[in-house]
Amino acid sequence: MERIITRSTFFNLFYIVLFQLNCSSHDIKNDKVFVIATYDDVKDWDPATAFSLEVFPMSNMYEPLLWYDAGVKPGRFLPGLATSYSKSEDGLVWVFNLRKNVFFHDGTKFNAEAVKFVVERNKKLNGGASYIWSSVAKITINSPHQIIFTLSSPVPFDKIVSSQYGAWMYSPSIESISEDSLNHGFGSGTGPYQLKKWARNKYILLEKFNKYWRGWEKRDHYNSVLIQVATESSTRFQMIKSGIADYAVLIPNQLLETLEDNLEVSVSYHPSWINEFYLLNTKKHPTNNLWFRRAIASSLDRKVLSNYIYKNTAVESKGLTPQSIPFFVEPDSLIEFSLVIAKNYLNKSGLDLTNVKTDLSYVSTYEQYRLTSFMLLDNLKKIGVDLDLKPGLWSTNWDKAKNLDTAPNIISMAWWPTVSSPSDWFFALYNTQENPLFNLSYYGNSVVDSLTKKAWELETTEPRVAQDLYKKIQNILIDDCVVIPAVDVNVSSVRKRNISGLKSNPAYSTIFVYDLSKN
């Protein structure tokens, strides 16, 4: 059955077509442009602190010292801006040999001084994923292209320098860039594409960097990358279906099924390191009541999610981290779905529900969140709890959730890791934070904090002990009912069939356009 295009979708498409025609005549030098249809915009152009959807453009503009290839088993580290590295037996000293004849987009040479500058600046700013460098005690420049890191504890440092946040190498010239200029779009990495233009909440245009060290002669590369913001999933769907976009993000499962017989569009599913869950605010009434939180958790049916709402795009969560990530281990148990048990928990809460208000904030651009939220609303109504649904863009929901006065009781979340470790979930989402960034449950537990730190440090030297600690952390969080796990996401790759070179790498939630070409 042909899908009806809504009035708003029609006008969105009309605007996008006009925009691309305008771009093609002014900004894009030829038709070798890769168009990505995504659901929200960049909020932070500083590569030191950017910590969300910025990974899309920045992974094509910047590079780390090492890359982590999670597309093979076991995973492996590959050279990035470092050609090789070594570490001491005690894991405290790491030596990196750096790539020569590499330039930043502003013409500055990449060298050991630049690496030292980036790490020290990131630590000083103390924002975004800067915490990944906390174990660095000393940085020594041994030569222009060799740098030595001395650590305070034996953490798996190769995972840190291959992070998808906070580890991008950028030009020291950023020191002379004003905050206002950064807020209006900035980029100076060593990657294949450089920032050409940014129209806030509309599009990002990247253009190939002619001096890119890997060169442009080996294949038929794309010359430009256009990241188009389309907040409505129906608009993104029509963009890929009509051929306006080459790749589309977050297309609802119900629409993906209509593309099965489309000869121009390919849809495939790949296991990822992304999971979706619902954080429960432990400081705000009524979810500051443990038994009330458990009643909510018992009202979410994960089997319905995986079998009917997500289908091919996810599997039922078995723990608080994705099952495909290294060091995954199942907790002793999750809170099971049962409205009878939920009602019992509600009675134990001792709450008078007459004037109790509970709200749930979810990402409006994602159909699965909407359907899950309505399922939870319906189940909670059966046990006498009224739920107020508050859909919105992720950026808006996030801003409100970081302030306790405006934070919801429940918020939908998806998480993909900064570093390739379960500790990333536990540190970012549940570590005690005075001013919460992603700890939107406002949870604090010194035992969880110390166990997370210890497990992370033991991953390389005592992996089995680290895994046992990750299990213990999950058991504590589940017992305290801080989070309701939902699904582990299978990433849907929705693209034109004539695109080649696309590979699945769960360690990076992005698309590396340099590796792509048209058949």
Task: Identify whether residues 81 and 132 lie together within a single domain.
Answer: yes
Residues 265 and 281 in one domain: no
> How far, in Å, CA of 431 to CA of 451, rounded?
10
Taking a C-beta distance cutoff of 8 angstroms, is the pair 193, 60 a contact?
yes
Does any domain span residue 37?
yes
| SS3 letters across 120-167 | HHHHHHCCCCHHHHCCEEEEEEEECCEEEEEECCCCCHHHHHCCCCCC
Domain boundary among the residues 147, 174, 201 is at: 174
Q: What is the pLDDT of residue 218?
A: 78
HSE value, Cβ hemisphere, 13 Å, CA-based, for 458: 16
Helix (H, G, I), strand (E, B) or coil at 43: coil
Residues 247 and 382 reside in one and the same domain: no
Q: Scan for tokens 């969140």, then name that residue.
A: 369
Quick one: pLDDT band at residue 14, thresholds 50, 70, 90?
very low
**Mean pLDDT value across residues 53-78:** 96
The token pair that represents 363 in the structure block? 């990402």
Per-residue model confidence (pLDDT) at position 517:
95
- Which pLDDT score, from 0 to 100, does residue 254 have? 86
244 and 154 together in one domain = no
CA–CA distance from 509 to each of 165, 283, 363, 439 (Å)? Answer: 11, 31, 18, 21
Out of 110, 141, 174, a domain closes at: 174
CATH number of the domain encompassing residue 250:
3.40.190.10
181-205 tens-digit pLDDT: 999 999 999 999 999 999 999 999 9
In this model, does residue 363 exceed pLDDT 50? yes
205-225 residue pLDDT tens: 999 999 999 999 877 899 999
29, pLDDT greater than 70: no
By C-alpha distance, which of 61, 67, 80 is closest to 209?
Answer: 61
Is pLDDT at 8 greater than 90 in this prediction? no
Asked if 304 and 193 sit in the same domain, the reply is no
Residues 338, 350 contacting (CB under 8 angstroms): no
What tokens were used for 27?
A: 């900004």
**Is residue 19 very low, low, confident or very high in pLDDT (cuts 50, 70, 90)?**
low
Percent of the chain residues topping a pLDDT of 70: 94
Cα separation, 120 vs 49, in Å, equals: 13
| Amino acid 23: pLDDT | 54
Whether 34 maps to a domain, the answer reads: yes
Report residue 355's pLDDT band, with 50, 70 and 90 as the boundaries.
Answer: confident
How many whole angstroms separate alpha carbon 290 and alpha carbon 283?
Answer: 11
Domain assignment present for 1: no
> What 3-state DSSP class applies to 332?
coil
Same domain, 297 and 428: yes
pLDDT at 147: 99
Read off the pLDDT band of 2 (50, 70, 90). very low
The pLDDT score that the predictor gives to residue 28 is 52
Q: Is the domain of 307 the same as that of 236?
A: no
- Residue 249 and residue 330 in one domain: no
Q: How many domains does the chain have?
A: 3
CATH at 430: 3.10.105.10
**H-type helices in 27-149, by residue range?**
55-61, 112-125
| Residue type present at position 62 | Y
pLDDT higher than threshold 80 for residue 73? yes
pLDDT reading at 253 higher than 90 = no
pLDDT (tens digit per residue) in 257-283: 899 889 999 999 998 999 999 999 999
Distances (CA, A) of 497 to 268, 300, 308, 494: 11, 37, 27, 9
- Token readout for 200 is 């806030």
Q: Quick check: 473 pLDDT over 50?
A: yes
Domain hosting 330: range is 272-490
Over the chain, what is the mean pLDDT? 93
Q: Are residues 510 and 369 in the same domain?
A: no
Q: What would the two tokens of residue 350 be?
A: 């001792």
Buried b (16+ CB within 10 A) or exposed e, 160-170: bbbbbbbbbbb
Q: Which helix (H) or strand (E) holds 240?
A: helix 233-242
Is it the case that residue 18 has pLDDT exceeding 80? no
Cross-strand pairs, 13:
none
Whether 50 and 28 share a structural domain: yes
Evaluate if residue 9 carries a pLDDT over 70.
no
- Domain-located, residue 2: no
CA–chain centroid gap for 148, Å, is: 29
C-alpha–C-alpha distance, residues 175 and 224, integer Å: 27
Q: Does some domain include residue 286? A: yes
Confidence of residue 289 (pLDDT cuts 50, 70, 90): very high
258 and 197 both lie in a single domain: yes
Beta carbons within 10 angstroms of residue 405's beta carbon: 6
Asked if 128 and 168 count as a contact pair (C-beta separation under 8 A), the reply is no
Per-residue confidence (pLDDT) for residue 20, from 0 to 100:
54
Residue located via tokens 């890997």: 214
Task: Say whether both 47 and 127 belong to one domain.
Answer: no
Tell me which of 123, 150, 174 is where a domain ends. Answer: 174
Q: At residue 25, does pLDDT exceed 60?
A: no
Closest CA to 360 of 474, 254, 440: 440
